[in-house]
Structure 1
């Protein structure tokens, strides 16, 4: 936008808004005249923005870059969707570059109708929110991903499963052994009740030998089950 003395671009200052970060934007002031032009940048929110430089001199045919920095914001402003802040670029022509280096005094003594002005609007660009790492409305898949991790150790999962199966088999055999022992005890009781004479071998009854062999057999199987070969 041209104010006769300076061409100011862009016409709207845009800030890519992020919390707790200083956000810069820039202005270009071009002097199309054959005179030196002094400028001054003002804003409706001086505590919110820092302008560098906020005053200066632009030589004929030259361009001066001005940086506008929005200070860190701790929370979203209420006018985030439609910012109400504004900037004003004032400029005056000077006959001599060294006429005055105190721009405050220079603008103060200048007649109001000789000061040209350019008004600028402000807008915020809000970055898109990053996608959620967990798909919405897909809790089943989320639970599945947790379950698929397996037990600690990774490659030991199969060994653990086989070990558990072996222990279960050993427990089953132990119960069967108990049942066989119970049956043998019943048989021995029946034989004793009839006062039958049972042949003995080396001082032991045949029933005792049978019971001992049966227990030894199951103990052997039980031991092999508890110590499977991997």
Structure 2
């Protein structure tokens, strides 16, 4: 299966993190058949993804918006974000053509597990050079997940 993503392996969000930050992901279907796709994240309360699932025709490129929800506190410049995204895709074959996207993804997993293609993206939180100079380095002992966020929405249904 040939589905390309841009960016290819890392989603980078720029400061300030006290407001919603949007990153764009471009998904391109390089196959001769239409595909269904679904976006999952390891941190569903921190991100809103639109569309979080969809259909791409042969040769079509789609823009997916990923919204990082506001954080209560800014992470330190050396913070390593543990968040990841998984973009899954599968062919929409003739026998699935009349199914809804939900039905395609809710099909018995064991029968189609070999037909699902997955691509992972890491998340980085970019350091603003001005922030790094004015704030210095972080306190020792901080670990991923130690920064709370104020979230009010769920990322997706899948």
> TM-score by structure 1 length?
0.51
Question: 1:65 aligned to 2:63?
Answer: yes
1:154-193 matched pairs, under 5 angstroms = none
Match of 2:126 in 1: 125
Report the secondary structure of 2:38's partner residue: strand
Does structure 2 conserve the Cα–Cα contact (< 8 Å) formed by 1:38 and 1:55? Answer: yes
Question: CA distance change for structure 1 residues 64 and 50 in 2, over 3 Å: closer, same or farther?
Answer: same
Question: Paired residue for 1:104?
Answer: 102
Distance in 1 (alpha carbons) for counterparts of 2:86 and 2:19 = 24
Secondary structure, aligned partner of 2:103: helix
| 2:39 is the alignment partner of 1:31 | no
RMSD, aligned CA = 2.2
Task: Please list every run of 5 or more consecutive structure 2 residues that lacks an aligned counterpart in the other structure.
Answer: 135-158
For structure 1, which runs of at least 5 residues remain unmatched after alignment?
133-230
Equivalent-residue separation in structure 1 for 2:98 and 2:33 (angstroms)? 12
Distance in 1, matches of 2:98 and 2:5, equals: 23
Checking the alignment, whether the CA contact within 8 Å between 1:18 and 1:126 is kept in structure 2 is no
Equivalent position of 2:91 in the other structure:
93
Q: Choose between structure 1 and 2 for higher RCO, CA contacts under 8 A separated by at least 6 residues.
A: 2
Larger radius of gyration: 1
Please tell me whether residue 81 in structure 1 is matched to residue 72 in structure 2.
no
Shift of 1:31: 0.7
SS at match of 2:129: coil
Q: CA deviation at 1:80?
A: 5.8
Change (3 A) 1:20 1:116: same
How far 1:15 moved relative to its partner? Answer: 0.2
Does the CA-based 8 Å contact 2:19-2:71 persist in structure 1? yes
Instruction: Tell me: CA distance 1:9–1:19, structure 2 relative to 1, closer, same or farther (3 Å).
Output: closer
- 1:47, CA displacement in angstroms? 0.4
Bigger share in strand: 2
3-state SS in 2 of match to 1:104: helix
Residue aligned with 1:88, SS: strand
CA contact (8 A) 2:28 2:60 kept: yes
2:19 corresponding residue in structure 1: 21
